[in-house]
Structure formats: structure tokens, C-alpha cells
Amino acid sequence: MNNAQMKRTPFHKILIANRGEVALRIMRTARRLGYGVVAVYSDADREALHVREADQAIRIGEALPAHSYLRIEAIIAAAKASGADAVHPGYGFLAENEDFARACRDAGLVFIGPSPEAIKAMGNKAGAKDIMRAAGVPCVPGYQGVDQGEGAMFAEAERIGFPVMIKAVAGGGGRGMRLVTDAAMFLDTLRSARSEAQGAFGDPTVILERAIADPRHIEIQVFGDRHGNAIHLGERDCSVQRRHQKLIEEAPSPAVTPELRARMGAVAVAAIKSISYEGAGTLEFLLDKSGEFYFMEMNTRLQVEHPVTEAITGLDLVELQLRVAGGEPLGLRQEDIQFSGHAIEVRLCSEDAGHDFMPQSGRMALWQMRQGIRVEHALESGSEISPFYDSMIAKLISHGESRDQARRQLIHGLEQTAAFGVTTNQGFLIDCLRHPVFAGGEATTAFIGEHRDELLAGTKDPSSEAALAALLLYVTDRNAPPWRNGRTLAVAFPLPVRLELDHGSYDLEVVRERDGGYLASLGGNAHRFEIDDLGSDTIRFRSNDVMETAKFLRNDDRLYFLHRGVTIAVRDLTLAAPATAAATGGDGKVRAAMNGRVVAVLVKPGDKVAAGQPVMTLEAMKMEHVHTAGIAGTIAAVDVAEGEQVTTGKIVVEIEVAAAT
């Protein structure tokens, strides 16, 4: 038996210690290669698609990640109970947890990822920087010392110079990361970052880095095996971000030349060889305007954005992970890696871009995708979008011969995707892809911040959308006479319609004319429509001599429609009671803006508060959201406790209005 054979560790059934789209992605390759697959699930995911698609599925706890997907002992027990002999961690949760990798090894399970030692060495931001510096790799100036006292951290921040970045040493995904622009806000921001890091990773330790102005975020995909082989698969540009979390990724980067790619790739390969790294990994860099790059961190796992690398290389990265974990050599040399065309990925998230990207949970009433582009998801019509996990619900990936072809294909794919029932960032993504800065390949990490107003303005015409919404409410009303093409005998009486659209309310009148057309009047503006065809979920109509089609879904007082690539959510307020001060918090009651967990109560009964003062912090979908007082006054009651799970609209704090003087 030769050395290569002795290093083989064959396995037959894989437990996937994750959920949602990544679990299904791993299942797809595992089954193609002949492996059995086992899913795990929390109470919130009992009916989830990844559970139903697996050969076996085992409950591992309650909805909160700390009670389920982060429970090492429960996942090991599930593997044993199912007969699985390997574990794939996916990304997020325990994917970069050295204790989990070690527990799998101690239990005789193959961990499909790097060794616990490699995770410890490179998964910790501070430790990874030490390794990189020893290897001569340029790193962002900063502080990663053991003294985490507020005084020491403040002194180090002043030494580095503002602006500085605060980063959690454990994990990633933008959690526990904050930009501090001046000394006055440093300590409050430090406490907030530590709180989020503790909640997300169980470790409040942070490092400091000098903030580099308007860089590109470039990452290099690497692979190593236990036979000493290591390669890189080129770079991905992940510069388009919100809240330090990626929204759009592409490969190759418009800013990376072949010479720079070779230089960054060589650095990355040398780094993983120095620690005998096995499996998939990604080294992340900041690229400044002069072309200099600085190491930030290493992700010791598969990345969310791996499909763009697969698209341009023709490789299946999950297959490579499985082969390496089984002890096979990579079977690829650096000169074997060829790049073809351009690929772009967008992350479709259940969030309201117009309201600070606030996460949204609820029921996906209709989910339909356009054929022809790759979509990674775990959705179907009727799926519940849980508040307990990440807001990303799908990834759309396009691949073209050129960057512009890939960009156009992706725009068209988004325009044809129906996601009704939960607010998503679909329209925002389209506007990002269309923006001249992105189209020209010039986007940096400052892209969304600099162009946010333009991106949020979009191309929507509220008046036109309200008119179309009123028409759809009119013709889909269960009490309305059935629609038919052609002339009518008489003009119908105007029907008043009041609706809510994009957080604004509109009062309109709709009437059917003698010639069969419809007139929707809003203030002094009249929009005329002619209906060519009306189906159960699609309308074809003409307006201003332009024929268009819209997909729609009517559910009692709710209406959703997809028009010109934008999903519009409408509420019929025609028969609803008038809005009250409660809607804006003007009644002195602070209400939860989303389903989530209370992570901080910032006031107590008897405290005086000003309008706009923070009173509570809620965590939903791995992000923290501060709730503020709607009025000035005195705290009369605090109706929740830290750690409590609340639902949207629940009263959390009550304020007694300050007496007039």
C-alpha cells in the first residue's frame, strides 16, 4: 500500500450541518457522486425544503441557532444516529469552529473542511495576521493585542488614526464589524460591536484596523490537499456591500490584471502551504487605488459566492471538497486552471432596502424563477421566511462571454423573478447592476454609501404604480362583474380606491368607460388602461399605446404584482379604519419593527427620554436594530426582557407624554 492509499479516508453518508440553500447545494453534488445525505433541522425548519429533500433528517433543537445549529453535541449525536460517517458544515454557523472540527474528528467522523489546527491558525483574524506578517504578506496596520480594556483600545485607535475599523476576531459576514470615523463615537461603537460579536460567535474579542479609503474587496479562492498540493482558482470581486455584508460578487474582478492575479494568487498559495491547509479556503484582501493589496482575513470554508468561480473555471468546488476530505489528491496543477468568460452573483435578501435594509420575515406567497440562469435557493410558494436566520433567501448567478453580457442576463433574470409576500431587495439589486459606476466596473466598497439615494430612488413612478394597483384591485375584486373584452353599454359609476404602496397611501377613482377601457384618476392625473387579456395571475394591458404584461397575486386585502422588473406590494385600505397615531409611535408606544430577539433594553421605568432616543435593541436575521422613542416623555413601562423573542408590532416600551409647560 503506497502513502497516498494510506492517507485515504473513505466515507459513504454525509450529514450536512446547515440549512437552506447551502444544504441543498451540497446535497446536489453529494448525490451525483453517490453519497447518502442527512439533514438536520430546528423547530423553525421542520417543514423546510432541505429537510424534505434529504434521505434522513434529524431534529437538533429549538429555533434559535444557539439552541440548534450551533449545538455541537446535538449535531454529533445526529450523525451517529443516522449512520453518517462524514460532516459537511456548509458556511456560517459552525463552519469555522475549531471545536466542532475537533469534535467530529474525535467522534470518528470525517470533517469536510480543514483541520482544527488550520481553522484555529487562520480562522482567528488576529492569529491569521501574525502568520501573514511572518510570511511577508502586507497587512492593514492595526491592533490585535490581548489587552481588550476600553482604555487600551481607545489609545490604540488614536495611535492608528481615525477612521478605524472594529472587527470581531471570530466569524465573519459583517457581524461585529463597525466603522468609527472619530474619537467621540469610539467607545459606544466598540460596545455595540462586542455585543454583536458575543451574540453571533460567543466571543466578544475584537481587533482594530486602519480604514482604507474606498478600496476594492478582492478574495482569492484556494484549495489544498493532504499530499502537499495547493492551487488558487483566481479572484472574486466582492466590493458591493451593505452593512459590511456582500450583495454582489463577480469573477474575474474588473480591477485585477493577469499580473496582479498571479501575484495575489502566489501569496495565497504560499500562505496555505505554510500551514499544510486542506480543503477550500478564501483569503480576503483590500485593494487600494494605487494597486497595493493588504491581507484582511481568511475564511476556512466554502464561500457563499463560490458559484461565480465555478462558472468561470468549470469546476465543482463541493466535489473538490469531498475528494480532498476523502484523501484524494487535488489532481489539478496551477497551469490546469483556465478561466472562461465572466460571472456575476447577486444575493436576494428578505429586507427593505428603503428602510435601512431592515430584515423581513413572513410567508413567501409566490416564488417563481426565470429559466436560463443559475439560482441557488430553498424556496417554494408558501415557504416561511424565518426571523431566526440570515436574510439571504436566494442567489442568482449569470455567466456570459463578457462582463456586460453577464450583467444584462442577470438584470433580466431578476426582472422575471416573482417573489411575492415578503419584501426583498430585488429592485435595489437591479438598480445596482444598472448603475453606470457598476456597469463601468468602477464600484468600490463605497459604492452603495456614495450612491444610496440614487439607488433607492430607482426608476419607479409611484403615480403610475398606484394607478395600475388600483386597476388590479378593481378587476380582481370578488364582487366586481367579470371582465370581458369589448364595449360596455354604459359608463359605470366611479369606484373609490384607497391603497397603501411603498409606505405611502393613495386615494384614487377607477371607472370603466363605454369603449371597455379603464380610467384610474389620482388627484389631477388620469391613467387610462385597455386590458387585452386577464388571467388568474397575469394581466396584459395597454397604457399610452404601450402594451405590457404584469404578473399578480391577490389575497384578500393584499395585492402583489411584478411590473417592469419591480415587485410591488399593495394593501387595500378602501374599507380599512383610518390610521392613528399608533402607526408612527406618536401614541407613546414603541413597537417591534420585526420579529426578533431583544438583545438590549436601554431604559428603565422612570427614565426621561427625548424623541429619537434609543430605547431597545432587537436582533433579527443576524443584524441588530435600534428602536427609538417616538415622542419625548417618561418611560412608563418596559414590556420585554433581554433575550425575549418578540413578534412584529408587539409593544416593547411605553412612554408617558411629557407634560406641557
Q: Which residues are catalytic?
A: 301
Q: Within a 10 A sphere around the Cβ of 583, how many other Cβ atoms?
A: 10
Beta pairing class for 623-628 and 418-420: unpaired
C-alpha pair distances (Å), 134 with each of 53, 127, 156, 263, 293: 46, 11, 22, 18, 17
CA–CA distance, 61 with 44 (Å, rounded to integer): 9
CA–CA distance, 489 with 329 (Å, rounded to integer): 79
* Cβ contacts of 544-547, under 8 Å, gap ≥ 24: none
- Residue 288: all three cell numbers together: 487600494
Question: DSSP letters of 132-174?
Answer: HHHTT--B--EE--S---HHHHHHHHHHH-SSEEEEESS--TT
Q: Within a 10 A sphere around the Cβ of 397, how many other Cβ atoms?
A: 24
Backbone angles phi, psi at 274, to 5 degrees: -65, -20
Cα 327–Cα 271–Cα 95 angle in degrees, nearest 5: 55
Question: DSSP letters of 492-557?
Answer: PPPEEEEEEETTEEEEEEEEE-TTS-EEEEETTEEEEEEEEEE-SSEEEEEETTEEEEEEEEEETT
- Residue 296: all three cell numbers together: 484582511
Tell whether omega for the bond before 163 is within 30 degrees of 0, i.e. cis: yes
Question: DSSP letters of 160-215?
Answer: H-SSEEEEESS--TTTT-EEE-SGGGHHHHHHHHHHHHHHHHS---EEEEEPPSS-
By CB neighbour count within 10 A (0-12 exposed, 13-18 middle, 19+ buried), where does 529 fall? Answer: buried
By CB neighbour count within 10 A (0-12 exposed, 13-18 middle, 19+ buried), where does 489 fall? Answer: exposed
Can you tell me which residue has the cell 433528517?
57
By CB neighbour count within 10 A (0-12 exposed, 13-18 middle, 19+ buried), where does 648 fall? Answer: middle
CA–CA distance, 458 with 106 (Å, rounded to integer): 54
- Residue 115: all three cell numbers together: 483541520
Select from 75, 177, 569 the least CA-distant residue to 354.
569
Helix, strand or coil for residue 398? Answer: strand
**With contact defined as beta carbons under 8 Å apart, do 469 and 461 qualify?**
no
- Residue 428: all three cell numbers together: 435595489
Q: Within a 10 A sphere around the Cβ of 654, how many other Cβ atoms?
A: 17
CA–CA distance, 118 with 560 (Å, rounded to integer): 49
Beta pairing class for 596-601 and 614-620: antiparallel
